[in-house]
């Protein structure tokens, strides 16, 4: 089974690249003809100390390009959703309404919250129903996001357009002199690859091992976007919201830029790089400095997927894209250099570890098992610090995402992580046959009856069952041997 899967993928890989041609490239052919859409900030009301948002998942039609429209899904609109913003310490609630013709869920990716508020595959919202999770924001300022997580349907729902950002603020971040003016010098950059049929619909074939790869990019739902920059420094909150594609972001003039944040918050200090790999689900906050009048293009160049060249070719490893053109005004508002120190991050301490686990990713299984909604795979004790060793056993790409907590990467193949991966993470690309040792602390929220997920965030793999379930239990508490069957815990 695994062998035939791999063999089929090699065939697909060779087939896709044809007669020795290189991968897809849009570099130099993108006209940057449309202003980058900025998702609106979500409105909210505060009553009795609870900040309440509402999001309606609905069908629509989007005009990404001239000609026929594209049937899409969005939150409160035709495509993507508004940006939610909340402060650390605040109590929030979100009224999630499902106006779609089928069930969905909304998961708060990267959020530390009780399992029943997580919006995973067990928190189904039926058509016409409203689900209102509520929790207290208790984690550092960060760039999080939200998207459906219905088991077996996640790729379809996200690729239809259901995704948005959820930004957290805190006093530590606010005290730093960083670009923070939303839509002006603090810009969401939601990157998705798509392919269009002539009639305007999204084309979801052909499939490579990683899943569906597109041949052009949408950024915040905008094709061929440019951004007018009015400040000497601009903060880009990069989110890879693609189903399968792995990007290696850089600028066309190879300028250095500073990574200031990873999935779960600010780094300890800015990390200067000239390229940055992001796999599906990962985020990075970068700050790039601009000179008056210049134009610079954010691109994605062939990512190092770590496998054999033939595998890389068939899975986007030779593709390159123009992503977003930055157009600096003739006069730029001055911005100071970045602070030398950002967040206070605890040293990851292996001595705190009370439990070790090993996760082996192979085919579309984790530890030789496919996702079972009724099976609890791991039971974690509340308060524990755990060491999870995660290994991609294949020469093909996978990544790894954990719900509930942000982890720290202790080492990668025995070496300390590069500075831009040394902060809080919830998703990490797994280079083949390399041990990623992750440190996780489960401080809050025990619930023996409701699991959190860990999974590969290549969405077709997740849908194919490359996912497992863990519960967090109070010391001495037992988890049930099996979960209630699917359908018994739907909310109406």
Where in 280-319 is the site for ligand C2O (CB under 6 A)? 281
Helices (H), 128-276: 154-160, 171-174
State which of positions 381-400 bind Cu ion (CB under 5 A). 398
B/e letters for 47-60, b = 16+ CB within 10 Å, e = fewer, are eeeebbbbbbbbeb
Q: What, of ligand C2O, Cu ion, none, does residue 455 touch, CB below 5 to 8 Å by kind?
A: ligand C2O
Residue 382 token pair: 């509340």
The residue from 51, 112, 149, 437 that contacts ligand C2O (CB under 6 A) is 149
Write out the DSSP string of 455-479: E--SHHHHHTT-EEEEEEE-TT---
Subset of 99-118 contacting ligand C2O (CB under 6 A): 107, 109
- Which backbone phi and psi does 7 adopt, to 5 degrees? -65, -45
Q: Among residues 102, 2, 93, 3, which one has the least CA distance to residue 42?
A: 93
Among Cu ion, ligand C2O, none, partner that 456 touches (CB below 5 to 8 angstroms by kind): Cu ion
Dig out the tokens for 432 from the structure. 């083949």
Binding mask 453-492 for Cu ion (x = CB under 5 A): ---x-x--x-------------------------------
Residue 250: name its binding partner from Cu ion, ligand C2O, none (Cβ under 5 to 8 Å by kind): none
* Contact window for ligand C2O (CB under 6 A) among 267-275, 331-339, 411-419, 449-457: 449-457
Quick note: the x/- pattern for Cu ion over 90-109, rule CB under 5 A, is -------------------x
Q: Is 88 in the site for ligand C2O (CB under 6 A)?
A: no
Cite the DSSP H helix spans in 128-189.
154-160, 171-174
CB of 392 to ligand C2O, least distance (A): 17
**Which CB atom, from 247 or from 257, has the smaller least distance to ligand C2O?**
247
Phi, psi of 311 (to 5 degrees): -70, -45
Q: How far is the CB of 372 from ligand C2O (least distance, A)?
A: 16
- The entry of ligand C2O, Cu ion, none that residue 149 binds, CB within 5 to 8 Å by partner kind: ligand C2O
What is the DSSP-derived secondary structure letter of residue 377?
-
State the Cα torsion 317-165-273-247 to the nearest 10°.
Answer: 10
The token pair that represents 92 in the structure block: 């929030």
Instruction: Find out whether 464 and 207 touch, Cβ atoms under 8 Å.
Output: no
Give the C-alpha separation, 183 to 185, whole Å.
6
Indicate the pairing of strand 265-273 with strand 276-278.
Answer: unpaired
From Cu ion, ligand C2O, none, which one binds at residue 458 (CB under 5 to 8 Å depending on kind)? Answer: Cu ion
Closest alpha carbon to 423 in 105, 36, 110: 110
b/e burial code for range 392-423 (CB count within 10 A of at least 16 → b): bebbbbbbbbbbbbbbbbbbbeeeebebbbbb
- Does 235 sit near ligand C2O (CB under 6 A)? no
Bond from prior residue into 9 cis (ω within 30 degrees of 0): no
Find the binding residues for ligand C2O in span 375-404 (CB under 6 A).
401, 403
Nearer Cβ to ligand C2O (112/457): 457
Residue 461 partner contact from ligand C2O, Cu ion, none using kind-dependent CB cut-offs of 5 to 8 Å: Cu ion
Does 461 bind ligand C2O (CB under 6 A)? Our answer is no
Among residues 216 and 463, whose Cβ is nearest to ligand C2O?
463
Site for Cu ion in 399-458 (CB under 5 A): 403, 456, 458
Any idea how long the chain is? Answer: 492
Which tokens belong to 163? 């995704």
State how far Cα 451 lies from the chain centre: 20
CB of 443 to ligand C2O, least distance (A): 20
H helix or E strand, kind and range, residue 15: helix 2-17
The nearest distance, CB 210 to Cu ion, in angstroms, is 7
Size of the site for ligand C2O (CB under 6 A): 10
Stretch that binds ligand C2O, among 284-292, 329-337, 417-425, 451-459 (CB under 6 A): 451-459
Distance, in Å, from the CA atom of 161 to the CA atom of 175, rounded to the nearest integer, reads 35
On whether the CB atoms of residues 380 and 349 are closer than 8 A, the answer is: no
State the minimum distance, in angstroms, from the CB of residue 466 to ligand C2O.
Answer: 11
In angstroms, what is the minimal distance from the CB of 79 to Cu ion?
A: 21
Part in contact with ligand C2O (CB under 6 A); list of ranges 235-243, 290-298, 312-320, 453-461: 453-461
Q: Judged by CB under 6 A, which of 422, 453, 456, 458 binds ligand C2O?
A: 453
> Residues 113, 135: contact at Cβ < 8 Å?
yes
Q: How far is CA 172 from the centre of its chain?
A: 24
119 binds ligand C2O (CB under 6 A): no
Output the smallest distance, CB 453 to ligand C2O, in A: 5
By beta carbon distance, the residue nearest Cu ion is 456
Binding site for ligand C2O (CB under 6 A): 107, 109, 147, 149, 281, 401, 403, 453, 455, 457
Binding site for Cu ion (CB under 5 A): 109, 398, 403, 456, 458, 461
């Amino acid at each position: 089974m695994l062998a035939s899967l791999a063999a089929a993928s090699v065939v697909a890989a060779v087939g896709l690249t044809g007669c020795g041609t290189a991968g897809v490239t849009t570099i130099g052919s993108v006209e940057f003809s449309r202003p980058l859409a900025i998702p609106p900030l979500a409105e909210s009301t505060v009553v009795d100390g609870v900040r309440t948002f509402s999001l309606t998942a609905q069908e629509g039609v989007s005009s990404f390009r001239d000609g026929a429209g594209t049937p899409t899904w969005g939150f409160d609109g035709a495509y993507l959703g508004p940006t939610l913003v909340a402060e650390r310490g605040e109590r929030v609630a979100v009224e999630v309404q499902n106006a779609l013709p089928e069930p969905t869920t909304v998961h708060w990716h990267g959020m530390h919250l009780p399992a029943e508020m997580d919006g995973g595959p067990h928190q189904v919202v039926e058509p016409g129903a409203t689900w209102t999770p509520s929790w207290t924001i208790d984690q550092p300022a960060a760039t999080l996001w939200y998207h459906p997580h219905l088991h077996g349907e996640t790729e379809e729902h996200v690729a239809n357009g259901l995704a948005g950002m959820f930004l957290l603020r805190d006093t530590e971040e606010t005290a730093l002199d960083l670009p923070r003016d939303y839509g002006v010098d603090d810009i969401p950059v939601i990157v998705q690859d798509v392919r269009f049929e002539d009639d305007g619909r999204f084309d979801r074939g052909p499939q490579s091992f990683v899943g569906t790869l597109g041949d052009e990019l949408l950024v915040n739902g905008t094709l061929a976007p440019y951004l007018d920059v009015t400040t000497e420094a601009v903060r880009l909150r990069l989110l890879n919201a693609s189903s399968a594609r792995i990007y290696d972001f850089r600028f066309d003039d190879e300028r250095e830029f500073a990574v200031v944040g990873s999935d779960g918050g600010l780094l300890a200090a800015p990390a200067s790089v000239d390229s940055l790999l992001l796999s599906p689900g990962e985020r990075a906050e970068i700050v790039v400095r601009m000179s008056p009048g210049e134009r610079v293009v954010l691109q994605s160049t062939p990512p190092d997927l770590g496998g054999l060249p033939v595998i890389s070719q068939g899975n986007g490893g030779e593709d390159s894209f123009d992503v977003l053109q930055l157009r600096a005004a003739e006069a730029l508002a001055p911005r100071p250099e970045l602070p030398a120190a950002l967040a206070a991050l605890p040293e990851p301490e292996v001595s705190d570890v009370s439990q070790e686990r090993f996760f082996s990713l192979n085919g579309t299984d984790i530890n030789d098992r496919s996702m079972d909604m009724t099976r609890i795979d791991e039971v974690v004790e509340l308060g524990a610090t755990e060491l999870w060793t995660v290994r991609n056993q294949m020469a093909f790409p996978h990544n790894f995402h954990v719900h509930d907590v942000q982890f720290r990467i202790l080492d990668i193949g025995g070496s300390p992580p590069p500075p831009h991966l040394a902060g809080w993470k919830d998703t990490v690309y797994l280079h083949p046959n390399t041990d990623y040792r992750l440190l996780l602390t489960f401080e809050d929220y025990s619930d023996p009856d409701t699991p959190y997920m860990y999974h590969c965030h290549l969405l077709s793999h997740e849908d194919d069952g490359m996912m497992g379930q863990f519960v967090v239990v109070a010391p001495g508490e037992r988890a049930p041997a099996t979960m209630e069957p699917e359908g018994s815990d739907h909310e109406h």
